[in-house]
């Protein structure tokens, strides 16, 4: 049984139908690209998945014990004061303790190490580079050891080299920690080198495909558009 399965699943906002008759099954431990134009229902689907309030019909089953989510937008200005290690621990959001407990500290250290941030753990997040910030965002999502990690356009603001670096790290996480990854993106050509499946949201529905289908989809969509990634960014 897959980690995420839907049966005749749909989402609507009032009268407006966003998604209907969705039947998908994502096996555990896969790296899926979530594709589709803006407004096609990607974000709504993820919202339903992480348990935010959306109106749904049909069934959506989710076997994940814990979900890590890296949102698309974060307002981190240059004068944002927190050091990276404290930012990474912000998801410990219950109780009153002003200090980290031993197990929390350990989990934060592990997540920092995982994302190659140990060397700059005490630096201000506000003064970190774009790539470092994205790695800190992913580290925060990893702290509580999720088995499903969802990233929302995490590579959008990075240059090519850092895009590839981040995706390589995420790919490694998938393999070494047996994480299931959902990666929302518009950069089809780039993601096709890393993902082993996709969900394509279009025309009010969703299609699922495996790695081979992803390759042919990429060929088909970027044919004659060598610069496609640049356009989509």
Phi-psi region of 121 (alpha: psi -120 to 50; beta: other; left: phi over 0): alpha
Q: Which of 14, 15, 99, 224 binds another protein (CB under 8 A)?
A: 99
Q: Which of 58, 71, 131, 205 binds another protein (CB under 8 A)?
A: 71
Of all helices (H) and strands (E), which one includes residue 187? none
62 forms part of the interface with another protein (CB under 8 A): no
Stretch that binds another protein, among 33-41, 74-82, 165-173, 186-194 (CB under 8 A): 74-82
Least CB distance to another protein at residue 200 (A) = 24
142: Cα within 13 Å, side-chain hemisphere = 28
Number of residues that bind another protein (CB under 8 A): 30
113 forms part of the interface with another protein (CB under 8 A): no
Contacts of 100 (CB under 8 A, 6+ apart): 89, 92, 108
Q: Which residues pair with 32 in a beta bridge?
A: 182, 197
CA–CA distances in Å: residue 17 to residues 10, 37, 73, 181, 203: 8, 16, 25, 27, 11
> 35: helix, coil or strand?
strand
**CB of 96 or CB of 226, closer to another protein:** 96
Q: Which of 1, 15, 51, 223 binds another protein (CB under 8 A)?
A: 51
> 197: helix, coil or strand?
strand
d(CA 233, CA 155): 9
Q: Which of 12, 28, 62, 124 binds another protein (CB under 8 A)?
A: 124
Q: Write the DSSP symbol of residue 4.
A: E
Q: Which of 81, 145, 175, 210 binds another protein (CB under 8 A)?
A: 81
C-alpha triplet 183, 219, 9: angle, nearest 5°: 45
127 forms part of the interface with another protein (CB under 8 A): yes
Other C-beta atoms lying within 10 Å of the C-beta of residue 194: 18
Least CB distance to another protein at residue 121 (A) = 10
Q: Which of residues 159-218 bind another protein (CB under 8 A)?
A: none
**CB of 142 or CB of 190, closer to another protein:** 142
39 forms part of the interface with another protein (CB under 8 A): no
**CB of 92 or CB of 232, closer to another protein:** 92
* Footprint on this chain of another protein (rule: CB under 8 A): 50-52, 67, 69, 71, 73-75, 78-79, 81-83, 86-87, 90-99, 122, 124, 127, 140
């Amino acid at each position: 049984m897959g980690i995420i399965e839907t049966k005749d699943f749909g989402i609507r906002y009032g009268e407006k139908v966003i998604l209907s008759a969705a039947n998908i099954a994502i096996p555990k431990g896969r790296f899926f690209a979530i594709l589709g134009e803006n407004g096609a229902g990607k974000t709504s689907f993820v919202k339903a998945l992480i348990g935010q309030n959306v109106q749904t019909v049909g069934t959506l089953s989710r076997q994940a014990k814990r979900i890590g989510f890296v949102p698309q937008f974060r307002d981190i200005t240059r004068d944002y004061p927190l050091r990276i290690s404290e930012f990474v621990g912000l998801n410990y959001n219950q109780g009153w303790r002003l200090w980290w407990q031993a197990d929390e500290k350990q989990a934060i250290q592990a997540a920092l190490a995982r994302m190659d941030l140990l060397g700059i753990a005490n630096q201000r997040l506000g003064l970190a580079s774009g790539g470092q910030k994205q790695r800190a965002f992913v580290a925060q999502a990893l702290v509580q050891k999720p088995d499903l990690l969802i990233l929302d356009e995490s590579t959008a603001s990075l240059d090519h080299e850092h895009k590839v670096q981040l995706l390589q790290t995420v790919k490694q996480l998938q393999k070494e920690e047996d994480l299931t990854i959902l990666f929302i993106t518009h950069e089809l050509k780039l993601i096709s080198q890393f993902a082993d499946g996709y969900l394509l949201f279009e025309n009010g529905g969703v299609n699922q495909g495996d790695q081979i289908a992803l390759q042919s989809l990429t060929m088909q969509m970027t044919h004659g558009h060598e610069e496609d990634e640049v356009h989509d960014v």
